[in-house]
Amino acid sequence: MNTVVYDGSYEGLLSAVFEIYEYKINDACIVKKDEVNGSLFGAVHTVETNEEKSKRVYKKLKDKLTPNALSQLFKTFLSEEKNIENVLYRYIAYTLSSRVSVENNFSHPDVLMLQQTSRKVHREKHRMEAFVRFQLSKDGLYYSLIQPDFNVLPLISNHFEKRYADQRWLIYDSRRKYGLYYDLHKVEEISMQFSENMNDKNALKAIIDEKEELYQRLWQQYFSSVNIAARKNMKLHIQHMPKRYWRWLTEKKG
Amino acid sequence: MSDRIQEKLSILADAAKYDVSCSSSGSDRKNTNKGLGNASNGICHAYTEDGRCVSLLKILLTNHCIFDCAYCVSRKSNDIKRAAFTVQEVVDLTINFYRRNYIEGLFLSSGIFSNADYTMERLIRVAKTLRTEHKFNGYIHLKTIPGASEELMKEAGLWADRLSINVEMPTKKSLALLAPDKKQEDMIKPMQFLKEAIIANKEEKRLFKKAPKFAPAGQSTQMVIGATPETDLEILYLANGFYKKMNMRRVYYSGYVPISNDNRLPAIGTPVPMIRENRLYQADWLLRFYGFNVNEIVDKKNPLLDMDIDPKLGWALRNLNMFPVDINKADYQLIMRIPGIGIQSAKKICDARKFGAVTWEHLKKFGIAVNRARYFINSNKEFETKDLQPMQIKQFILQESQSKYRPNFSPQTKLF
Ligand code: SF4
């Protein structure tokens, strides 16, 4: 087996695919840089992320895949699941080797895997569009901390930019330690240290807008008032709002 | 001051919650003016402990009402706390909730104070203020007050994404019994009016791109079920008529929650008919997305939906002569009708079979409910379905699905 090491970025992965073809590497196994462990057998090939190379692979894929499949590819990558690089590589190789479109051949294990994984990531994207809760700071910034299961920030950027065009906002992924910041003109990826006790009540008092607590309280009131006790169904409630998200949700903190 | 707002909110949200509509989809209002918000697919931002989607700030402007509908908490004769929001208070709540990503928009309804037009005018003023002064492009659903003038309805449609008029009861007779102040015509007439206005606006938009939108998410309605003795046949035929003749986007079925000791109604403590409500939503789903005719789901011989099994399985068991289906040959339309296979899976099967036969193993990997599908598919070698009677199949499926396929009592369910 030949190990191909890349930097963990999507561009890096596409560059790796390019080089596997370029150097005719057989039996390749793609591994993230910081997941390489000492006991490697066979040759190791390290890939430098290269814009030119990744673009060429991307263009080739764009010719062969529908926009939907192209986006499934990216979403599957964002799942960060173990060994997902090699599923993607096999999928790409299968796509490039076939004259006809294979993206709907769900009997093929990699095609099915891509479809199912991208769906999970898509669900998480949708969840974050729903579960982000902004708090207003004294200087007029709407900020939110999240910890999504998958790396979905790149997928939700567009949605929030369109929706909240007239307010400054920041969505920070405190697990992956980076965020999206919108300054009324454009969205930027930023990395910073945003300590988790920013979500803590006392630390917050100092920085939040004076009306913030009121609206949080009103929202909690609303959330409990719309509940119909005679219809209580906690199982369904938890199925839709899994407990791991509660600490970030204003209405579940009360 | 803020305590008073909180009290009002608790009263007026509580009184609005029996309107089950929560949808915020079907509109395509974009944020083109660098304002606040947009309306597109509709997001559920939270779920209540009863498992229902919270998508909109759903409140009454006031719960003062001059009418006395027996099934309603806000009825005149009910001794409860009353409250009323000002227009500005509703606007502030909506904007501030929206900016924090709590909601998709506003669903505003009201008890009738002084008269229908006066009430309707206030609702419109809220919507207009949001749209014009706050450049708000989020979703707005206004309830149309029965008896409001056509001019006001026209104006409401200019600001709102969706308008709704609740038919309340499945038959005139029940309405007369429980809501003596209301007549079914008072609801059907404005529905007709809205339908025509929406169609006219669509035409206009085809000709002039810039023509103002009119209720782009259409109209919906709701009926209370289980308060009165109607059969599912009567309910589903009425719903079907709304879809076919009124271009209704959605019909909601609200299982009656006992709130009164009135002897015309089920007593307090009677369970909410949640399974029945769920079966009605499943039947409704079959009408809208699965190409079923209403008379395939209920008919004179079977006027009630089966409470044990979903209506699609019920249909299959009454029509065993259509099965087993060959999933490698049958039409998409028929594959969709196989119990255990939904729209997504049917698509997957039809796509995959172009590359080679789809086998039983594939079906399992696709995530299909093979335990129920297997009685209706012939590419299954593991299991002989020959000679099984409908009752036997039903028993087998029920035994296997004790917990797994228990209906989830939610109007948002997609379970088949
Ligand atoms: S008119 Fe509406 S608010 Fe008034 S009692 Fe009847 S249902 Fe309730």
Phi, psi angle pair for A62, to nearest 5°: -65, -35
Q: Where are the alpha helices (DSSP H) in chain A?
A: 10-22, 51-64, 67-78, 84-97, 109-131, 153-163, 201-205, 212-225, 234-240, 250-253
Q: How far is residue A145's CA from residue A173's CA, in Å, rounded to a whole number?
A: 6
Q: Which domain holds residue A109?
A: 2-123
Whole-angstrom distance, CA of residue B24 vs CA of residue B110: 19
A136 and A234 housed in the same domain: yes
- Determine whether the interchain pair A240/B48 forms a contact, defined as Cβ–Cβ distance below 8 Å: no
Q: In this structure, which residue's CA is closest to atom 6 in ligand 1?
A: B69
Phi, psi of B358 (to 5 degrees): -90, 125
Closest approach of B392 to chain A, Cα-based (Å): 30
Measured by CA distance, the residue closest to atom 2 of ligand 1 is B111
Q: B6 vs A166: CB contact, 8 Å cut-off? A: no
Q: Are residues A174 and A220 in the same domain?
A: yes
- Residue B50 confidence (pLDDT): 85
Confidence of residue B386 (pLDDT cuts 50, 70, 90): low
Boundary of a domain, candidates A123, A142, A171: A123
Q: Which of B17, B365, B410 sits opposite A228 (nearest CB)?
A: B17
Query: How many cross-chain Cβ pairs, A to B, lie less than 8 Å apart?
Result: 162
- Please indicate, yes or no, whether residues A45 and A156 belong to a single structural domain of this protein: no
* Residues of chain A neighbouring B413 (CB-CB closer than 8 A): none
Confidence of residue B412 (pLDDT cuts 50, 70, 90): very low
Return the number of other C-beta atoms located less than 10 Å from residue A3's C-beta.
Answer: 18
Site to substitute for ligand 1 among B19, B69, B113, B165, most atoms within 8 A of C-beta: B69
Asked if the model's pLDDT at residue A40 lies above 70, the reply is no
Strand partners, A179: A172, A190
| Count of Cβ atoms closer than 10 Å to residue A236 Cβ | 21
DSSP B139-171: EEEEEPPTT--HHHHHHHHHH-SEEE---BSSS
Angle of CA points B324, B325, B326, to nearest 5°: 125
**Over residues A69-98, mean pLDDT:** 95
> For all residues of chain B together, what is the average pLDDT?
90
DSSP character string of B252-301 = EEEE-------TTSPPTTPPP-HHHHHHHHHHHHHHHHS---HHHH--SS
pLDDT at B23 over 90: no
pLDDT value, residue A252: 85
Give the helix/strand (H/E) hosting A146.
strand A141-146
Is the domain of A103 the same as that of A162?
A: no
Sort residue A166 into left (φ over 0), alpha (ψ -120 to 50) or beta.
alpha
Any idea how long chain B is? 416
Per-residue pLDDT averaged across B412-416, rounded?
41
Residue among B34, B52, B102 minimizing CB distance to A165: B34
Task: Tell me which residue of B264, B267, B257, B227 sits closest to B73, measured CA to CA.
Answer: B257
According to the model, what pLDDT value does residue B410 have?
45
Query: pLDDT band at residue B200, thresholds of 50, 70 and 90?
Result: very high
A116 with A7, same domain: the answer is yes
Residue ranges of domains in chain B: 3-297, 311-403
Residues A161, A61 within the same domain: no
Comparing A12-16, B23-27, B130-134, the range with the smallest average pLDDT is: B23-27
The best mutation among B74, B120, B184 to test binding of ligand 1, ranked by most ligand atoms within 8 Å of the C-beta, falls on B74
Check residue B132 and give its pLDDT. 96
> Per residue in B135-166, pLDDT tens?
999 999 999 998 899 999 999 999 999 999 99
A174 and A157 share a domain? yes
A137 and A247 housed in the same domain: yes
Residue whose token pair is 């003062």: B64
Domain end point (choices A102, A123, A144)? A123
Show which of A123, A155, A179 is a domain's final residue. A123
Among the partner residues A211, A222, A230, nearest to B13 by beta-carbon distance: A222
Is the pLDDT assigned to residue A196 strictly greater than 80?
A: no
Which amino acid is residue B55, in one-letter code? S
The residues lining ligand 1, judged by C-beta closer than 6 Å to any ligand atom, are: B 65, 67, 69, 72, 74-75, 111-112
The answer to whether residue B372 neighbours chain A at the CB level (below 8 Å) is no
Mean pLDDT of B53-81: 94
Kindly determine whether residue B102 and residue A129, on different chains, have CB atoms separated by under 8 Å: no
Looking at beta carbons, which residues of chain B come within 8 Å of A164? Answer: 36-37, 99, 101
Tally of structural domains, chain A:
2
Residues A181 and A244 in one domain: yes
CATH architecture, domain defined by B3-297? Alpha-Beta Barrel (3.20)
* Phi-psi label, residue B183: left if phi above 0, alpha if psi -120 to 50, beta otherwise: beta
Residue B408 has pLDDT above 70, yes or no: no
Greater pLDDT, B412 or A205: A205
Do A118 and A150 reside in the same domain of the chain?
no
Pocket test for ligand 1, best of B14, B60, B65, B119 (most atoms within 8 A of CB): B65
Give the atom of ligand 1 at the shortest distance from the alpha carbon of B65.
4
- Return d(Cα B335, Cα B322) in angstroms, integer: 11
- Mark yes or no for CB contact B51/A233 under 8 Å: yes
pTM: 0.90
Closest of A74, A70, A78 to residue A103, by C-alpha: A70
What's the confidence (pLDDT) of residue B128?
A: 98
Contact by Cβ (8 Å): B127, B157? no
